[in-house]
Amino acid sequence: MCHKHERGVSLIAAIFIVIFLAFMGIILTTYTISSAEEAGNEYLSTQALYYADTGVYNALTDITDDGNLDATSYTFANPTGTATIAVASHIGAIWVIDCTATCGDTATEKYGRRTVRVIFKN
């Protein structure tokens, strides 16, 4: 038995359910997109750390080979990133080497940057 005042209740309930499911879909989509961007940023940041480590390793190899750096500052690059090595200070046998590396596209602000500082006694 359907009373006149109960007509349309199921339609209203169905509309609320559809709105709720659409809202949940928007939330999940936003979460998925932000998680993917965060993973991409972490990847670029990790790549930059590897470049910075490589730059420090190159400088340390240069120092241990002949006791001196060929230059106090230099940059190496490849298609995915760059690393700039600079000697912050050199007092006697103690070297302070900074290497800043960047991976990604700095024009679009989708990049990672890391700096590694090593204090080395030769």
Integer Cα distance of 95 and 107 in angstroms:
34
Each residue of 10-37: pLDDT tens digit? 888 899 999 999 999 999 998 888 887 7
Q: Which residues are bridge partners to 85 per DSSP?
A: 74, 99
* The pLDDT value given to residue 3: 63
Phi, psi of 104 (to 5 degrees): 115, -165
Interior/surface letters 52-64, b for 16+ CB within 10 angstroms, e for the rest: bbbbbebbbebbe
Average pLDDT over residues 38-67: 84
Length of the chain counted residue by residue = 122
Whether pLDDT at 40 is above 80: no
CA 18 to chain centre: 38
Read off the tokens for 35.
């998680």
Whether pLDDT at 72 is above 80: no
* The pLDDT value given to residue 27: 92
User: Are 99 and 82 spatial neighbours (Cβ–Cβ below 8 Å)?
Assistant: no
* The pLDDT value given to residue 85: 80
Average pLDDT over residues 35-47: 83
- Strands of the chain (E only): list them: 73-78, 81-91, 94-105, 110-121
pTM: 0.67
Instruction: Considering only residues 28 and 92, tell me which one the structure prediction assigns the higher pLDDT.
Output: 28
Whether pLDDT at 1 is above 60: no
> Which pairing describes strands 81-91 and 110-121: parallel, antiparallel, or unpaired?
unpaired
* The pLDDT value given to residue 43: 87
As a whole-number percent, the residues of the chain with pLDDT over 90 amount to 11
